[in-house]
Amino acid sequence: MIHSNTETVPGKEIVQFYGVVSGSTVRAKHIGRDIMASLKNIVGGELKGYTELLQEARNDALVRMTEQAESLGANAVVNVRFSTSSIAQGAAELFAYGTAVRVE
Amino acid sequence: MDSTTEALINLGLPLLLLVATYFTGSMVERRHYLSIRARELETRQLPAITFRTPPRRWEISDSGLVSGSVVISVDYFKRFLAGLRQFVGGRVKSYETILDRARREAVLRLKAEAAAAGYAAVINVRLETARMANGRSGNGIAGLEVLAYGTGIKLRHGAP
C-alpha cells in the first residue's frame, strides 16, 4: 500500500478512484505520563511521552485507513491529510483521511 | 508566626520557580537552537519542499508518506511573561520561540525519517499545529504538538 499526500503517486498513474477512506482513534493520556508532563511543564522542553503517544495513535489511524482502502481493492491512498482535535479533557482524536485509488 | 511562613510559601515558591525556570528555560532553549542549527546544516542535501508536484526533471522511482512530530511544553517563566503581556498586548516573544522551535524540530524529524527510509527529497510538506489542553483545568496549555508530513521521493539518479 502506497501512501502519498500529493494528488498523485509521483512517477505512477492513477487508473481508478475508490473514494474517501478514513481512520481515526481517540486516545486518553496515561496518568503516569501526565505526572511527568506536569513536571516538564514547569521546566519546559519536549514532552517525549506525549510525542510517542500521539505518534502511536496516528499510526493506528493510518492503519485503519489502510485497512479500509484494502477492503475496497485499492493499492494506494493519495492526498492523505491528518487532523487532531481535543474532544474532551485529556482526550484527543487523531484522524487520517485520503482518497483510495489504484495506481499503475 | 504562622502567617509569615504561609506568606513566605505563597510568595517565595512562585518566585523561586520563576528564577529557576528563567535559567533552566533559557538553557534548554539555547541548547535546542544549537542542535536545530547543526542538524539543519547536516540535512541541507535533503530538500523538504512545499510544492505539490515535483520538478519535471526528477525521475521518480518510488515514493511514500513520511512524518515527524514533537510535543513541546511551555515553561513556568515563559507562561508568566505571556501572562504579563496580556495587560499591554503586542508580541508574545516567549511563545514565538516555542512555536518556532517546535516547527523546525518537526521538519528535522521528518527529514530524519525520510533519510532513514532512503528518500532523496520530500515534497508537499504540510505543517499542522495542535494545542493539548491541560488535563485538570482544561484551559491551560499542557503542550503544543506540531506535525510535519509530506511525500518522500526516491530518484533514479540519486541526489536531486
Closest by CA to B73, choosing from B24, B121, B122, is B24
Query: How does pLDDT run across A2-32, given as a tens digit for each residue?
Result: 999 999 898 889 999 999 999 999 887 666 6
**Residue B15 CA from chain centroid, whole number:** 27
B152 pairs with which residues across the strands? B64, B122
At A81, the pLDDT band (50, 70, 90 cuts) reads very high
Is it the case that residue A74 has pLDDT exceeding 80?
Answer: yes
Is it the case that residue A50 has pLDDT exceeding 90?
Answer: no
Rounded to a whole number of angstroms, the distance from the CA of A38 to the nearest CA of chain B is 7
Say what the pLDDT of residue B116 is.
Answer: 96
Query: How does pLDDT run across B59-98, given as a tens digit for each residue?
Result: 888 999 999 999 888 888 888 888 888 888 888 888 899 9
How many C-beta atoms lie closer than 10 Å to residue A9's C-beta? 23
Give strand ranges (E) for chain A. Answer: 2-3, 14-28, 45-46, 76-88, 91-103
Per CB-CB distance under 8 Å, the chain A contacts of B59 are 11
Q: What is the mean pLDDT of residues A61-77?
A: 95
Closest by CA to B65, choosing from A58, A57, A93, is A58
State which amino acid sits at residue B18: L
CA angle A13, A15, A21 (to 5 degrees): 100
Rounded to a whole number of angstroms, the distance from the CA of A10 to the nearest CA of chain B is 7
Q: Between residues 35 and 94 of chain B, which touch chain A (CB distance below 8 Å)?
A: 52-54, 59-65, 67, 69-78
Q: CB of A37 within 8 A of CB of A50?
A: yes
Residue in A closest to B76 by C-alpha: A42
A91 pairs with which residues across the strands? A28, A88
Closest by CA to B49, choosing from B128, B155, B148, is B148
Q: Which residue did the predictor score with more confidence, B126 or B54?
A: B126
Model pTM? 0.86
Q: What is the mean pLDDT of residues A73-81?
A: 94
Is it the case that residue A38 has pLDDT exceeding 90?
Answer: no
Query: How does pLDDT run across B105-137, given as a tens digit for each residue?
Result: 999 999 999 999 999 999 999 999 988 765 555
- Percentages of chain A per state (helix, strand, coil), in multiples of 5: 35, 45, 20
**Chain A interface test: which of B19, B67, B108, B127 (most A C-beta within 10 Å):** B67
Q: Return d(Cα B148, Cα B39) in angstroms, integer.
A: 16
pLDDT, mean over chain B = 86
Q: Which residue did the predictor score with more confidence, B12 or B70?
A: B70
Is it the case that residue A64 has pLDDT exceeding 80?
Answer: yes
Residue in A closest to B141 by C-alpha: A41
Contact B151 A92 (CB under 8 A): no
Per CB-CB distance under 8 Å, the chain B contacts of A42 are 17, 21, 75-76
Say what the pLDDT of residue A17 is.
Answer: 93
